[in-house]
């Protein structure tokens, strides 16, 4: 079976490096090209007939949703996997309406990313669990307002994590040990029913517990 060709559009150099490494390390995938801006992304779409396009929404020159429309119009056989940090309702729904069939948080584990790309190529619509829950909630009756499940310290830690600080940097900022930060994060994961810092930030943002940075 031929490898799945993947093109990546991502402006953050660290995430771009990570995504490219995941694709290149998997024998099931083949890197078809990459871009760091919407303008470069448009040129990439015109030039490369990839099986899967991984699209970041927060590009510096234009919203990535325009690229999804372009793929739907000129690369109708390709699939689109949105990769994001935050996933508010507007971007989530607009991405799906534009033609995206997968929605993944950027901190997904490499094996999860490869599995989702394969599922997408095979006709599925993979989403990070927290994204899927958000989408389902949109079509359910509004639930009663829930009190903030996080303590003041847990909220402080999550705000710093959302800013991109490591556990060690959070500990230094709050004058606590990294082990204490990890202990708090485990409690946060349990309270928000998530599995990673990215999902924790996303869920807390959606619940209004922290603001977008």
Domains observed in the chain:
4-138 (3.40.50.2300), 152-206 (1.10.10.10)
pLDDT the model gives residue 104? 87
Instruction: Calculate ∠ Cα 200-201-205, nearest 5°.
Output: 115
Residue 94 has pLDDT above 90, yes or no: no
pLDDT the model gives residue 130? 73
CB 91 within 8 A of CB 36: no
Torsion angle, alpha carbons of 181, 187, 188, 194, to 10: 120
- Rounded Cα–Cα distance for residues 11 and 27 (Å): 25
183 or 139, greater pLDDT: 183
pLDDT the model gives residue 70? 93
CB 55 within 8 A of CB 41: yes
DSSP state at residue 57:
S
CB 196 within 8 A of CB 107: yes
Confidence of residue 148 (pLDDT cuts 50, 70, 90): confident
DSSP state at residue 60:
S
Confidence of residue 201 (pLDDT cuts 50, 70, 90): confident
Confidence of residue 97 (pLDDT cuts 50, 70, 90): confident
**What 3-state DSSP class applies to 62?**
coil
- Tokens representing 162 are 């959302």
55 or 207, greater pLDDT: 55
Find the range with the poorest average confidence among 87-96, 141-150, 181-190. 141-150
Average pLDDT, the chain: 87
Helix (H), strand (E) at residue 21: helix 13-25
- What's the number of CA atoms in the CB half-sphere (13 Å) around residue 158? 31
Confidence of residue 15 (pLDDT cuts 50, 70, 90): very high
Confidence of residue 87 (pLDDT cuts 50, 70, 90): low
CB 40 within 8 A of CB 57: no
Find the range with the poorest average confidence among 57-61, 64-68, 78-82, 116-120. 57-61
Give the predicted TM-score (pTM) of the model.
0.69
């Amino acid at each position: 079976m031929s490898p799945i060709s993947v093109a990546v559009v991502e402006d953050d150099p660290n995430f771009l490096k990570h995504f490219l490494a995941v694709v290149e390390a998997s024998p099931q995938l083949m890197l078809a090209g990459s871009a760091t801006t919407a303008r470069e992304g448009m040129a990439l779409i015109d030039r490369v007939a990839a099986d899967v396009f991984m699209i970041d929404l927060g590009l510096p020159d234009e919203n990535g949703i325009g690229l999804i429309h372009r793929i739907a119009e000129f690369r109708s056989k390709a699939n689109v996997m949105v990769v994001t940090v935050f996933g508010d309702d507007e971007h989530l729904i607009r991405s799906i309406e534009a033609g995206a069939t997968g929605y993944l948080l950027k901190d997904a584990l490499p094996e999860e990313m490869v599995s989702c790309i394969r599922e997408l190529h095979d006709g599925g619509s993979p989403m990070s669990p927290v994204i899927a829950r958000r989408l389902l909630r949109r079509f359910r009756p509004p639930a009663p307002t829930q009190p903030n499940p996080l303590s003041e310290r847990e909220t402080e830690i999550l705000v710093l994590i959302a800013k991109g600080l490591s556990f060690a940097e959070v500990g230094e900022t709050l004058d606590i040990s990294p082990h204490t930060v990890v202990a708090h994060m485990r409690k946060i994961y349990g309270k928000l029913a998530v599995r990673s810092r990215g999902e924790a930030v996303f869920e807390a943002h959606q619940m209004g517990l922290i603001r977008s940075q």
